[in-house]
Structure 1
Amino acid sequence: MKIFQLRSLTLIILILNSFMFNSCSKEDDYSERDDKSIREYLQKKSLTAQKTESGIYYIITVPGNSQKPDLNSMVTVHYKGYFLDDAVFESSYSGSAPTFPLSGVIKGWQEGLQLFGKGGKGTLFIPSRLAYGNSGVAGIPANTVLIFDIHLINIE
């Protein structure tokens, strides 16, 4: 009986490990694919961008002042979000700039906006795993690279 329980436990552990390995492998595949797609987009558009350790590419056209947000900041931002095919999925420019807690947005924004000073402008190229990952949201498919033109208007 103990041998059967031990074998059953071993089998369960092996199955769980295979799911975890498979999941990590898929994320790695998407990370590599996203990175390649971003680099191809930048090359096609003749753009030069910096890259963070996490994989966000960014271009800062106006650095802004020395005040930068942190995760506890409320930020006011005008932005335009679009895909690698340049199709716009959202823009704040038709109204007033929204204000929100930096901690309440996608990880790509949480990290990327901290690169800008108050008044700064630029573009973030966010890999899917730092955006909506494999779940997606309305109007944004799963595993999709997102691009945002950013104007960081205010930091509180």
Structure 2
Amino acid sequence: MNTRLSSFVVLLASITLFSCIDDEATDLSILQDDIEEIDEYLATNPIDNVKEFEDENYGFHVFWHSVSESGIKPAVGDSVWVNYTGKTLTNRVFDTNIEEVADENGITKTKFEPLGYVHGAGWVIFGFEYGVSQMEKGDKVSVIMPSTWAYGRSGQPDIGIEPNEPLIFEIELLDIKPQDEAN
């Protein structure tokens, strides 16, 4: 009886261990596929910029369309306000807070105002925050991110984002209110 129980525990532990390894291998495989897809996109859709940054480990690309040189960067806990447009690698706009862009792309919303959030609080997807963390107040950028840092394996079907779909966000960092001034 104890031998059966021990065998069962070993079997269960092995399955659990290999399941975790499979998930990690799958995550790495998805990330690599996304990086390749992003590289292909950039090869056929060059982005005009005045400055660029690539994080090869995480697969991010940030392209500055304008650099403010304000020297004011967001810190964790700061309140930030941005204008943004989210697109897929097919250049299909799926979300924006800019009324003209929404109208051009058939996006219906009732409110068009800057998006405000607390930086680093997890209120927006990681890839969006990562892009904003690279910016200074007044900068305008395009951030291209692997799906791992966007909506991942689930996607966001209600707005047409497939599972494991890399995304592009065009972001303008309008304002930053430091955490210590928030009260």
The one-letter code of the counterpart of 1:6 is: S
1:90-148 per-residue CA deviation (whole Å, 9 max, x = no partner) reads 11111221212222111111211111000011100011010111112221222111101
Determine the structure 1 residue equivalent to 2:20.
20
1:101 aligns with 2:118: yes
1:148 aligns with 2:169: yes
CA contact (8 A) 2:128 2:169 kept: no
Question: 132-141 vs 26-35, which deviates more?
Answer: 132-141
Alpha-carbon distance in structure 2 between the residues aligned to 1:20 and 1:44: 36
- The structural deviation recorded for 1:50 is 2.5
- The structural deviation recorded for 1:80 is 0.7
The structure 1 residue matched to 2:73, chosen from 68, 71, 89, is 68
The one-letter code of the counterpart of 1:57 is: H
The one-letter code of the counterpart of 2:63 is: I
Determine the structure 2 residue equivalent to 1:132.
151
- The structural deviation recorded for 1:33 is 0.7
Alpha-carbon distance in structure 1 between the residues aligned to 2:162 and 2:79: 28
CA contact (8 A) 1:71 1:110 kept: no
Determine the structure 1 residue equivalent to 2:94.
89
1:105-116 matches, cutoff 5 A: 105-116=124-135
CA RMSD of aligned residues (A): 1.4
| Sequence identity percentage | 26
1:12-53 per-residue CA deviation (whole Å, 9 max, x = no partner) reads 011111211111111111101100111111111123752124
Determine the structure 1 residue equivalent to 2:42.
42
CA contact (8 A) 1:125 1:145 kept: yes
Alpha-carbon distance in structure 2 between the residues aligned to 1:54 and 1:121: 21
- The structural deviation recorded for 1:79 is 0.7
Q: Which runs of 5+ in 2 are unaligned?
A: 100-111, 178-183
Alpha-carbon distance in structure 1 between the residues aligned to 2:85 and 2:46: 20
TM-score (norm 2): 0.80
Q: Which runs of 5+ in 1 are unaligned?
A: none
1:9 aligns with 2:14: no
- The structural deviation recorded for 1:6 is 1.6
Q: Which runs of 4+ in 1 moved over 6 A?
A: none
TM-score (norm 1): 0.93
Determine the structure 1 residue equivalent to 2:54.
51
